[in-house]
Structure 1
Amino acid sequence: MRFTLKDYQTEAVGKILTTLGYAREDWHNRQRRTAFALSSTTGSGKTVIAATVIEALLHGSDEFDVEPDPSAVVLWVSKDPALNAQTKSRFIECADRIPSGDLVLLDKTYSEESLSTGTVYFINPDKLGKKADFVKHTDTRHFTFWEILANTIKDEDKTLYMVLDEAHEGMKTQTSDEQTIVQKIISGDGVSPAVPIVWGISATVKRFDEAMARADAFTKEKNVVIHPQVVQDSGLLKNALTLDIPNEAGDFSTTMVRDATLDFVEVCETWDAYCGEQGIDPVVPLLVAQIPNKSAGERDTEKGRREEDETIHLVLETIRKHWPDMPADCVAHVLGDRATIEVGAYEIPKVAPQEVEHDHRIRVLLAKDAVSTGWDCPRAEVLVSLRSAHDDTYVTQLLGRMVRTPLAQETSVERLNTASCYLPYFDKETAKIVAEEIMGMRAPRSGERGAAINKVMLKPVKLQRNYDVPDEVFQLVRDLPSFRKPTAAPRPIKRLLKAAQALAQDELVANADRLAHEAMFSVLDNITEANSGEIDKQTKLIMTADIRRILVERGKYEATDSLDTRDSDAATVDDALRHLRSILTASVVNRYLGRNMQAAINEGVEAGDPTGVDITLIRARVAALAFIDVDVQKSVEDAADSLTRLWLTTNASDIARLPDSRKPSYEAIQNMAREPERDGVEIKTDERVDSVDTDMKPLPTEKKHLLSTSTGDYPLEQKMARNRWERATIQYEQSFGTLEGWYRNPSSAGRNSLRIAHKSGDTWKSVQPDFVFVHRTSEGLLPSIVDPHGVHLGDSGPKLKALAEYADEHGDRFDRIIAVGVEKDDALVGLDLKSSKIRRAVYEAQPDSDSIKQLYAAYGTNYTRIPEDI
């Protein structure tokens, strides 16, 4: 795999491989068929996850501890041949251990009796219709697709894994008993058998789940679900989406094309400046212009073609007028019913959708439906759609195409973390509902979210450093004790090796890889020396094998057995070494073996007998480390952890100055810690937020926030504006007259947040308290944490305990730490967590809602009244 996976992608790959492993056993041992799905939001990298899984399935993986499946045949089903071609290209790009010849676009030219093992086949249902050649016998092909599929399924030496891309497609409930082609592939038709394993992939798997629940032949396993927030936190998706929709009736198409073009020119200039500053390859933005479909009666008429050409010409002329540097050959189209289009002075070639991303000559793309389903082009920065759209599913799909980040990471320039959509004919009410669903402000009517976007903006404003707030306040907030939560499955050795690779690449630590391995080798040497007797004992056991011979003689009623001890061979020692590799990684064990072997050879040379080195004995002595009564893994991991922390700490300032392209590597390394590690709060200096709600009404504003508009105002985003507790908290803190600045702590656990890592059961979680207020007191500037969080919320108990523990450790840094959890008689009731008595009560209380309510009743005091105008 050429790409480094995000943590959530790695976790998903592991779960999918486990499910597929059990499914394979169930099929071959019990003829039990399995169905499950990967459910993940648009832009989460589902194809990369699938490529990693299939590569491991076909060729094995040390990272995921799986052996290759020699029986594997993969059938990838997608509704569109263009999507299959795009997926194949993506596999070639990222799965370097799958030969391109093993990725086959299946069609009527296939003439074998069955599908071959070790191969990924792509098919789309249109090739399997009743009149399609692929379902008929011909002179050159003696088997139909259905016979080829049946032969593959019936072959005991093969395991057919069917992957259904966009798994909601082809799974509709039929009005008659007739199956869709996708359903026939999955469940058979009474003649053709059902496939043994079905793995669906979609952002919306509800329809797939319902269909598989009705399929009696299958056992439905638990889906692998990726939460939208972890995708958003990963940097793969834009932070925000701007929707420009007219607030009144009228024809605004030319105006919107003009505005979209001006925005596009600005974003091109911004990307050029950013890439130059970062020293990275240029990002080449794309402007997408979506034109209307012709009506049913005009699709093949001269009048319909002429009107469409007039629309195209008007769009391009408007773009050229406001983009003077527009290259002559930068326009292409993906209109399925047109070849090369000639309008005015423009000659517009047709391209396949999957080619657009990598063809940087294309700067303006004309499209209809091709950009609304399955299309993947992260450099699409600005969209102008001249189509009317009232269907919320269509709108959601279209917006989902605009949210991927070109660099697969967040940038330090907020405009580049935002996509823009100009929608002159979109239904405003539908767009409002979709925007609120995407931001999580209302439950999706479909039951599932399509895209995961933190902000959808209708009238954005720019926030920058608020110069009404003293520098000391900014520094005080930056220096607050903030702690990252450890990863779910920490791997300190892998973390050190990744840190060594990154630090060496950035020339921050010379010979980092060698130093990292030597640090771990030193631990292994010390353990070997301190436990030499037990090492010798385990080495002897590894070097010999006990063979039990059982003899049954004719005429005798009982068998006799005897035990024979023989020397082990290299394969036996390899088995012992495999266990050590599983706990210390193959890199460490293999390098340690190499070093020990070279040392033994050098000693032999000095002694005049270089051929007398027993390589098998050396390997066995290293393997013995896995079987002695010492926790070798913990000792090596402790050393790895220590060196990683030292490197990250001593190089922190240099790491902070690295280009944005390098920062995700260190984010990933820091997130692999075993225990919470101290981190700073990185306050944004550039942010875009909305200034209106989804009804286009101005949002309320407040003063003295660390970030503000040029007039010193901070617009309260919609959730905060509608939250009486948060509004009351801000107004109360403002009323003191001593407030120097405040910070609305981001709710997601990122580098811009004050984070409090805490353990809930065996799982590490992160709490981000809502507000930090900095007041001028008799002791100087002091921060306060105020966290309005109702006791009725399911996480109120664990969150309250985490705040109490934080107050225990760091309370002396704060003026107040207040947890607000109850409203009584129009007043907010809070707990003063700087009180040791109250903290003790928090620790002793049960985490359920009723117990927390009793805690507030016994120890809570009025924090503030809620103003009547909120």
Structure 2
Amino acid sequence: MRFTLKDYQTTAVGTILTTLGYAREDWHGRQRRTAFALSSTTGSGKTVIAATVIEALLHGSDEFNVEPDPSAVVLWVSKDPALNAQTKSRFIECADRIPAGDLVLLDKTYSEESLQTGTVYFINPDKLRDRADFVKHTDTRHFTFWEILANTIKDPDKTLYMVLDEAHEGMKSPTSTEQTIVQKIINGNGVNPAVPIVWGISATVKRFDEAMTKADAFTKEKNVVIDPKDVQDSGLLKNALTLDIPDEDGDFSTTMVRDATLDFVEICEAWDAYCDEQGIDRVVPLLVAQIPNKSAGERDTEKGLKEEDEIIHLVLETIRKHWPDMPADCVAHVLGDRATIEVGAYEIPKVAPQDVQHDHRIRVLLAKDAVSTGWDCPRAEVLVSLRPANDDTYVTQLLGRMVRTPLAQETSVERLNAASCYLPYFDKQTAKIVAEEIMGMREPRSGERGAAVSKVMLKPVTLQRNHDVPDEVFRLIRDLPSFRKPAAAPRPIKRILKAAQALAQDELVANADHLAHEAMFDVLDSIISANLDDVEAQTKLIMTADIRRILVERGKGEASDSTDTRDADAATVDDALRHLKRILTSSVVNRYLGRNIQVAINDAYEEGDPTAVDITAIRARVAALAFIDANVQKRVEDAADSLTRLWLTTKENGIASLPDSRKPTYEAILEMAREPERDVVEIKTDERVDSVDTDMNPLPAEKKHLLSTAEGDYPLEQKMAKNRWERATIKYEQSLGTLEGWYRNPSTAGKHSLRIAHKSGESWKSVQPDFVFVHLVDGELRPSIIDPHGAHLGDSAPKLKALAEYADEYGEEFDRIIAVGIEKDGILQGLDLKSSKIRRAVYESPADSDSIKRLYEEHGTKYTIIPEEI
């Protein structure tokens, strides 16, 4: 795999491989069929996840501890041949261990009796319609698709894994009794058998789940579900969408196309400047102009084409007028019912949707429906949609195609972390619905969440460093004790190897890879030296194999047996080594073997007998480390962890000065820790936020926040504006007269947050307290954490305990640490967590909601009165 997976992707791959492993055993063991789905939002990298799974399935994976399945045949089903071609290209791009020749677009030219193992086949249902050639016998093809599929399923040496892309498609029959083609593949067509394993992939799997639950032949397993928040936090999606709609009724299409063009030109200039500054390949933004469908009665008429051409000509002329440098050949279209379009001076070629991303000549794309489901084009930065307002559900889905980040990471320029959408035929109510659906404030009517962004802006403003706040306040908050949570499944050895590669690439540590391996080799050498007798005993066991012979003689009622001891062969030693590779990685074990063999060869040459080297014995001696009682894994991991932390600490300044393109690599390394590690709070230098709510009403604003408009205002986001407790907290802290600055701590556990890592059961969690206020106390700047969080909420107990533990350790650095949990008669009650007595009460309190409420009632004190105007 050429790509480094995000944490949520790694988790999903491991779970899917486990599910497929059990499904394979169930099929061959008891003919039990399995169905499940991967459910994840648009932009989460579902294809990358699938490619990683299939690569491991076909070729094995040390990282996921799976052996290759020699029986595997993969059938990838998608509704559109263009999507299949796009998926195949994506597989070639990221799954480097799958030969391109093993990725086959299946069609009527296929004439084999069955599908072949080790191969991924792509098919779309249109090729299997009743009159299609692929379902007929011909002179050159003696097997129909259905017979090929049946022969593959019936072959005991093959395991057919069917992957259904966009799994909600093809699962809805026109009638309750009629099956779609996709359902015939899955369930059998009445003559041929059902497939053994079905893996669906979709942002919305409800329809798939319902269909598979009704299918008696299948056992429905638990779906693999990816939290949209994890996707948003990963940097794969933009932080925000801007929806620009008219303030009043009227035809604003030309105005909106103009505004979209001006915005597009600004985005192009911003990307050019950013790429030059970062020293990276140029990002080439794309402007998408979505035109309306022709009416049902005029789809193929001359009048319909003429009207459509007039719209296209008007759009392009408006774009050219406001983009003087517009290249002559930069326009293309993906209109399914048109060939090359000639309007005015424009000759507009038709392109396949999957080709748009990599064809940088295309800067303006004319589209209708082809850029909705499945379209992948991260360089699409600006959309202007001339579709009517009653198509708002469709546009909501389309917006999901606009939120991918071109570099698969967040940039340091906030403007480049947002996409812009101009919607001249939308009204306020429609915009409100679209915005709230995308932000998860209401359930989508379509059943499909088209995008997963944290905010949708209708009238954005830019926040920058607030010059009314002293520099010391920024530095104080930046350096507060903040700890990122450890990885769910930490792998210190993989972490040091990744760190070594990155540090060497960035010329921060010379020979880092060699140093990393040598540090672990020193540990292995010391373990062998200290446990020599055990190592030799295990080596002897590995080097010999006990063969049991059972003899039955005619006339005797009982069998006799004997055991012979023979020398083990290379395969036996390989089996033993495989155990060590699983705990120490193939890289470390292979390199350690290579070093030991080379040392033995050198010693043999010095002694004048180079043939005396027994490589099998050396391999067995190393393999013995897996079977001795010496905490081999922990000791090697401890050494790896120690060196990684040393490098990250001593090279912190060098890492901080690297371009943005390198930052995600180190973020991933930091997030692979097995214990909480301290980090700084990286306060943004600029941020775009909305100035109105979804009803287009101005949002309330407050002063002295670290980031503000030029006028010193910080607009409160809609959720905060409606939160009485949070607004009362801000008002109270400002009323004290000593406030020098404050920070609304982001709720996500990212680099911009003050994070408190804590253990919850067996897993690590992260708490982000809501507010940090800095007051001037006796002439000294002192920070305070104020966290209004209702005691009735499900996470109140672990969050309160985490804050108490944090206060235990770092309370001296704060003026106050107060958890606000209940409201009585308009008064907010808080717990003073700097009090050891109250912390003890928190630790001793049961974790249920009623106990936490009693804790506030018995130990809480008045924090503030909620003002009547809030």
TM-score by length of 1: 0.99
Identify the residue that residue 580 of structure 2 maps to in structure 1. 580
Once the two structures are TM-superposed, the CA of residue 570 in structure 1 deviates from its matched residue by 1.7
Q: Distance in 2 between matches of 1:206 and 1:245?
A: 32
2:729 aligned partner:
729
- Report if aligned partners of 1:388, 1:427 keep a CA contact under 8 Å in 2: no
Matched, 1:615 2:615: yes
Q: Which moved more, 1:371-380 or 1:549-558?
A: 549-558
CA contact (8 A) 1:479 1:681 kept: yes
Q: Secondary structure at the match of 1:462?
A: strand
Q: List per-residue Cα deviations over 1:598-645 (Å, max 9, x = no partner).
A: 111111111111111111111111111111121011000000000000
2:133 is matched with 133
- Using the alignment, how far apart are the partners of 1:117 and 1:258 within structure 2? 55
CA distance in 1, matches of 2:735, 2:533: 74
Where structure 1 has 5 or more consecutive residues not aligned to the other structure, the ranges are none
Deviations 1:219-258 (A, max 9, x none): 0000011100110011000000000111221100000000
Equivalence for 1:402: 402
Does the CA contact (< 8 Å) of 2:428 and 2:695 recur in 1?
A: no
CA contact (8 A) 2:55 2:97 kept: yes
Instruction: Tell me the distance in 2 between the aligned counterparts of 1:865 and 1:481.
Output: 30
User: Which aligned pairs between 1:688-707 and structure 2 lie closer than 5 A?
Assistant: 688-707=688-707
Q: In the superposition, relative to structure 1, how do residues 543 and 764 fare at CA in structure 2: closer, same or farther (>3 Å)?
A: same
Tell me what 1:18 maps to. Answer: 18
Tell me which amino acid in the other structure corresponds to 2:113: E
Cα separation, 2, equivalents of 1:831 and 1:172: 55
TM-superposition CA deviations, 1:716-762 (whole Å, max 9, x none): 00000010110000000000000000000000000000000000000
Question: 1:445: how far off?
Answer: 4.7
Most deviating of 422-431 and 102-111 = 422-431
Task: Write the letter of the residue equivalent to 1:699.
Answer: L
Deviation of 1:451 (Å): 2.0
* Residues 702 and 715, structure 1, Cα contact 8 Å, conserved in 2: yes
For residue 699 of structure 1, give the secondary structure of its aligned residue in structure 2.
coil
Corresponding position of 2:641: 641
Give the letter for the 2:235 counterpart: G
Structure 2 residue 67 is the aligned partner of structure 1 residue 67? yes
**Cα deviations by residue, 1:501-538 (Å, 9 ceiling, x for unpaired):** 00000000000000000100111111111111211221
Match of 1:834 in 2: 834
- Residue 486 of structure 1 deviates from its aligned partner by 0.2
Instruction: Write the distance in 1 (CA, Å) between the matches of 2:751 and 2:397.
Output: 30
User: Which residue pairs with 1:238 in the alignment?
Assistant: 238
Q: Distance in 2 between matches of 1:448 and 1:354?
A: 22
CA distance in 1, matches of 2:199, 2:772: 46
- For residue 448 of structure 1, report the CA deviation from its aligned partner: 5.7
Instruction: Tell me: CA distance 1:393–1:206, structure 2 relative to 1, closer, same or farther (3 Å).
Output: farther
Q: Which residue of structure 1 lines up, in the alignment, with residue 35 of structure 2?
A: 35
Equivalent position of 2:777 in the other structure? 777
Map residues 199-218 of structure 1 onto 2, 5 A cutoff.
199-218=199-218
Distance 1:173 1:392 in 2: 25
Paired residues for 1:623-638 under 5 Å: 623-638=623-638
Query: Do structure 1's residue 90 and structure 2's residue 90 form an aligned pair?
Result: yes
How many angstroms apart in 1 are the aligned matches of 2:150 and 2:442?
46
Deviations 1:63-84 (A, max 9, x none): 1111111211111111111111
Aligned to 2:161: 161
Correspondence for 2:265: 265
1:81·1:124 contact (CA, 8 Å) conserved in 2? yes
Shift of 1:114: 1.7
Between the aligned partners of 1:257 and 1:437, the Cα distance in structure 2 is 25
The answer for the alignment partner of 1:867 in structure 2 is 867
How far the C-alpha of 1:441 sits from its partner, in A, is 2.3
Aligned to 2:336: 336
Indicate yes or no: 2:384 matched with 1:384.
yes
For residues 739 and 246 of structure 1, what CA distance do their matches in structure 2 show? Answer: 40
Structure 1 residues 73-152: aligned runs within 5 Å: 73-152=73-152
| Correspondence for 2:534 | 534
Match of 2:819 in 1: 819
Could you give the per-residue CA deviations for residues 374-393 of structure 1, whole angstroms, max 9, x where no partner exists? Answer: 11100000000101142554
Q: What is the deviation of 1:420?
A: 0.3
Partner of 2:229: 229
CA distance in 1, matches of 2:137, 2:507: 63
The residue number in structure 1 matching 2:522 is 522
Q: Is the 8 A contact 1:478 1:681 kept in 2?
A: yes
CA distance in 1, matches of 2:301, 2:328: 29
Distance 1:501 1:647 in 2: 12
Q: In the TM superposition, what is the alpha-carbon distance from 1:431 to its structure 2 partner?
A: 3.0
Matched, 1:297 2:297: yes
1:314 maps onto 2:314 in alignment? yes
Matched AA of 1:721: A
Structure 2 counterpart of 1:188, which letter?
G
Equivalent residue, structure 2, for 1:350: 350
CA shift for structure 1 position 350 = 0.6
Task: Measure how far apart 1:337 and its partner are.
Answer: 0.8
Is the aligned partner of 1:768 residue 2:777?
no
For the 8 Å contact 1:390–1:427, the answer to whether it is kept is no
Q: How far 1:174 sits from its partner (Å)?
A: 3.9
Letter in structure 2 aligned against 1:376: D
What is the CA distance between 1:133 and its match in structure 2? Answer: 2.0
Please state how far the C-alpha of 1:56 moved relative to its aligned partner. Answer: 1.1
Q: How does 1:478-557 map to 2 (within 5 A)?
A: 478-557=478-557
Q: Secondary structure of 2:661's partner?
A: coil
Give the 3-state SS of the residue equivalent to 2:660 in structure 1. coil
C-alpha distance after superposition, 1:770-799 (max 9, x if no partner): 000000001500000000111111110000
Give the structure 1 partner of residue 669 of structure 2: 669
Equivalences, count: 870
- Please tell me whether the aligned partners of residues 830 and 863 of structure 1 are also in contact (alpha carbons under 8 angstroms): yes
Secondary structure at 1:163's aligned position in 2?
A: strand
String of CA shifts for 1:574-606, please: whole Å, max 9, x gaps.
111111111111111111111111111111111
Equivalent-residue separation in structure 2 for 1:610 and 1:816 (angstroms): 73
Q: Which amino acid in structure 2 is aligned with residue 853 of structure 1?
A: K
CA deviation string 1:62-110 (max 9, x = no partner): 2111111121111111111111111111111111111212111112222
C-alpha contact 2:128 2:134 (8 A) present in aligned 1: yes
Q: Who is 1:219 aligned against?
A: 219
Q: Which amino acid aligns with 1:773?
A: F
Pair 1:793–1:449, CA change in 2 (3 A): farther
Match of 2:465 in 1: 465
**C-alpha distance in structure 2 between counterparts of 1:352 and 1:450, whole Å:** 22
Separation in 2 of the partners of 1:57 and 1:335? 38
The answer (yes or no) to whether the contact 2:236–2:408 under 8 Å persists in 1 is yes
**In the superposition, relative to structure 1, how do residues 102 and 487 fare at CA in structure 2: closer, same or farther (>3 Å)?**
same
Question: Partner residue of 1:800?
Answer: 800
Measured against aligned partners, the alpha-carbon deviations of 1:241-295 in whole angstroms (never above 9, x if no partner) come to: 0001112211000000000000000000000000000000000000000011111
- Between 621-630 and 137-146, the greater mean CA deviation after superposition: 137-146
Structure 1 range deviating more: 393-402 or 594-603 = 393-402
State the alpha-carbon separation in 2 of the partners of residues 262 and 139 from structure 1: 60
> Do 2:258 and 2:322's aligned partners in 1 also have CA atoms closer than 8 Å?
yes
SS in 2 for 1:390: helix
1:6 corresponds in structure 2 to 6
Note closer, same or farther for the CA distance 1:448–1:486 as it changes in structure 2 (3 Å cut): farther
1:417-428 superposed matches below 5 A:
417-428=417-428
Letter in 1 for 2:530: A
Distance 2:823 2:489 in 1: 39
Aligned residue in 1 for 2:714: 714
CA contact (8 A) 1:395 1:431 kept: no
Structure 2 spans left out of the alignment, 5+ residues: none
Change (3 A) 1:642 1:658: same
Cα displacement string for residues 179-237 of structure 1 (whole angstroms, at most 9, x for unaligned residues): 11111111113212111111000001111111111111110000011100110011000
8 Å Cα contact 2:278/2:660 also seen in 1: yes
Counterpart position of 2:365: 365
Give, in whole Å, the separation in 2 of the partners of 1:491 and 1:704: 43
- Establish whether residue 789 from structure 1 lines up as the match of residue 816 from structure 2: no
Report the Cα offset of residue 5 of structure 1. Answer: 1.0
SS at match of 1:370: coil
For the residue of structure 2 that corresponds to 1:661, the secondary structure is helix
Supply the distance in 1 between the matched residues of 2:532 and 2:450 (Cα, whole angstroms): 60
Between 1:641-650 and 1:421-430, the stretch displaced more is 421-430
2:692–2:698 contact (8 Å) kept in structure 1: yes
